[in-house]
Amino acid sequence: DSGVTQTPKHLITATGQRVTLRCSPRSGDLSVYWYQQSLDQGLQFLIHYYNGEERAKGNILERFSAQQFPDLHSELNLSSLELGDSALYFCASREREGQETQYFGPGTRLLVL
Amino acid sequence: AQSVTQLDSQVPVFEEAPVELRCNYSSSVSVYLFWYVQYPNQGLQLLLKYLSGSTLVKGINGFEAEFNKSQTSFHLRKPSVHISDTAEYFCAVRRSYNTDKLIFGTGTRLQVFP
């Protein structure tokens, strides 16, 4: 158990819908990263937050957005869902600047029908 | 930009045999290197990492990896595998400065047969 929690574990929804994925980092960790794992794209970085501020963006679609709240949990919002958004979404946390290791949560499996 | 190539998508091996999973990276700047393992229906777990110093790093579950700067490689090895090592293994790289993202390879599926 990495100490990173993600909810829900599974999510099935229809095209055009909007969903919110939630991540709670390890206690005290200030950084949260979101990654998408799909069969065709592999594991890809989406976005990084540090202590409530966006730090970096990767291959994140405009239909996707994220935020990190004062209690440090983070949410990834996916809207106007398409079939191709079906994937496993991971979040990872890291303690602070200078810490090298990211600890991954168990992921949220999203299926868009 | 950095990139990672995992040369083998699948590696079948018999139990108690040695195994090597290959990883090559490309980067114009100093990097950190990682190996993560993903068991079925689970998240990613860190196996080991290379930050600096000794080029041979030891990780959990008997795995080790060797950083070779001249060949830009970071191959993962285990002298004797178990059935329980069956999983997907990912090599990852990130810049050694800044709060940088991980860039992953495409993964290698290790299948251990009895």
Question: Could you say which of 3.30.1360.80, 3.40.50.2300, 2.60.40.10, 3.40.50.12780 is the CATH number of the domain covering B3-113?
Answer: 2.60.40.10
pLDDT tens-digit map of B72-101: 999 999 999 999 999 999 999 988 776 678
Q: Side-chain half-sphere of B86: how many Cα atoms within 13 Å?
A: 12
Report CB contact under 8 Å: A90, B43.
yes
Report CB contact under 8 Å: A33, B101.
yes
Which regions in chain A score pLDDT beneath 70? 96-99
Taking only residues 3 to 42 of chain A, the set having a beta carbon closer than 8 angstroms to any beta carbon of chain B reads 4, 31, 33, 35, 42
Listed by start position, the domains of chain B span 3-113
Among B1, B92, B7, which Cα is nearest to A44's? B92
Q: Does A106 touch chain B (CB under 8 A)?
A: yes
- Do A48 and B99 touch, CB atoms closer than 8 A? yes
* Residue B88 vs residues A11, A47, A65, A99, B98: alpha-carbon distances, Å: 23, 23, 29, 25, 28
Q: What is the pLDDT of residue A7?
A: 96
Rounded mean pLDDT of B108-113?
A: 97
pLDDT tens-digit map of A10-20: 999 999 999 99
Report CB contact under 8 Å: B99, A48.
yes
pLDDT tens-digit map of B29-71: 888 999 999 998 888 999 999 988 888 999 999 999 999 999 9
SS3 call for B24: strand
Q: Which helix (H) or strand (E) holds A31?
A: strand A31-38
Q: What is the pLDDT of residue B98?
A: 67
Would you state the torsion angle of the CA atoms of residues A87, A88, A93, A98, taken in this order, to the nearest 10 degrees?
-60
